């Protein structure tokens, strides 16, 4: 089962663009926004008729008129706005995607062993692990912890991406409604809240990748310096256990920091 970034992104785009028919919904809302704009302009103009005659003021509130007109233009070009935000924010994902648990490149020695792909290479690798286990029983614990850490990272990564793309798709639907209501000044904050939340959902992936890269960097540093034959694996087991605990702790805190910053 492929749960890579590209696969989940393609499924998200297929569902919200093809299955959900988002464009049909926004087309209806565009007509509604224009109707709201005309109603808003008419009511403003009617309220100005109660002012004194003979003044040089326009028969409507200029600020409200142009801000409402701006909201109408936003909903008219809503598809363009979403494409711009997606292109900008999805493009930033590539900068940190190398820290994905599915994209970590194995060491050169492991690549050579995989390229050999013969029985002798498999037996040689198994014998190496067996010798290390007989020398230090904690080595098997280290292997199990490495497997557990990768499973945790991969599971959180997949769940996180699915949640992220779902909420982005949900915001695409709600964003059109928020912009339509923002034609009226009293609902203008809805548009700004939607925009900040839309960006925040996208940016949540950056602390996620940084946490994976930071903890992996720390563990690699300890692993390379663990030269003592008896205590080396024990130190690595301790450090890896701390890194697993630290990841789970940082994931939660990073969510709170991003939301507090943008919402």
Does the pLDDT value for residue 2 go beyond 60? yes
Compute the average pLDDT of residues 219-239. Answer: 71
Does the pLDDT value for residue 11 go beyond 80? yes
Residue 15 is classified by DSSP as I
Of 243, 240, 236, nearest to 138 by C-alpha is 236
Of 245, 3, 255, nearest to 148 by C-alpha is 245
- CA distances 228 to 225, 235, 244, Å, are 9, 9, 23
Of 239, 196, 246, nearest to 219 by C-alpha is 239
Compute the average pLDDT of residues 22-29. Answer: 77
Task: Place 114 in a pLDDT band, splitting at 50, 70 and 90.
Answer: very low
Does the pLDDT value for residue 257 go beyond 80? yes
The three-state (H, E, C) secondary structure of 39-56, written as one string = HHHHHHHHHHCCCCCCCC
Q: Where are the alpha helices (DSSP H) in 182-231?
A: 188-203, 205-225
What stretch of H or E contains 108? Answer: helix 108-116
Specify the pLDDT at position 134.
57
Task: Place 46 in a pLDDT band, splitting at 50, 70 and 90.
Answer: low
Tell me the pLDDT tens digit for each residue of 155-184. Answer: 888 888 888 899 998 898 888 888 888 888
Of 254 and 198, the one with more pLDDT: 198
Tell me the pLDDT tens digit for each residue of 125-145. Answer: 566 655 665 566 677 888 888
Specify the pLDDT at position 183.
81
Specify the pLDDT at position 142.
81
Specify the pLDDT at position 262.
74
For 5-42, give one letter per residue: b (16+ CB within 10 A) or e. Answer: beebbeebeeebeeeeebeeebeebbebbeebbeebbe
Specify the pLDDT at position 130.
58
Instruction: Report the Cα 179 to chain-centroid distance in Å.
Output: 23
Q: What proportion of the chain, given as a percentage, has pLDDT over 70?
A: 75
pTM of the model: 0.73
Q: Is the dihedral of CA 224, 229, 230, 233 positive or negative?
A: positive
CA distance 139 to 118: 25
Of 52 and 245, the one with more pLDDT: 245
Task: Place 123 in a pLDDT band, splitting at 50, 70 and 90.
Answer: low
Of 56 and 237, the one with more pLDDT: 237
Q: Give the CA-trace dihedral at 44, 47, 53, 56, to 10 degrees.
A: -20
Domain ranges of the chain: 5-104+137-262
């Amino acid at each position: 089962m492929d749960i890579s970034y590209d696969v989940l992104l393609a499924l998200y785009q297929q569902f919200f663009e093809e299955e959900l028919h988002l464009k049909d919904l926004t087309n209806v809302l565009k007509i509604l926004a224009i109707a709201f704009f005309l109603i808003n302009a008419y009511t403003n103009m009617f309220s100005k008729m109660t002012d004194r005659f003979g003044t040089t003021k326009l028969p409507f509130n200029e600020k409200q008129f142009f801000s409402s007109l701006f909201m109408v233009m936003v909903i008219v070009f809503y598809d363009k706005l979403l494409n711009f935000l997606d292109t900008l924010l999805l493009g930033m994902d590539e900068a940190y995607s190398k820290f994905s648990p599915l994209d970590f490149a194995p060491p050169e020695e492991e690549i050579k062993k995989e390229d050999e792909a013969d029985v002798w290479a498999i037996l040689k690798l198994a014998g190496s692990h067996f010798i290390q286990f007989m020398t230090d029983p904690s080595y098997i614990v280290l292997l199990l912890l490495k497997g557990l850490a990768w499973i945790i990272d991969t599971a959180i990564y997949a769940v996180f991406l699915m949640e992220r793309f779902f909420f982005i798709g949900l915001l695409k639907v709600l964003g059109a409604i928020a912009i339509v209501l923002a034609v009226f000044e009293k609902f203008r904050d809805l548009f700004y809240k939607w925009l900040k939340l839309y960006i925040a959902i996208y940016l949540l992936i950056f602390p996620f990748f940084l946490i994976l890269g930071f903890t992996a960097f720390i563990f690699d540093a300890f692993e390379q310096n663990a030269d003592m034959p008896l205590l080396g694996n024990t130190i690595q087991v301790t450090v890896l256990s701390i890194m697993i605990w630290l990841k789970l702790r940082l994931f939660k805190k990073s969510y709170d920091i991003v939301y507090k910053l943008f919402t």
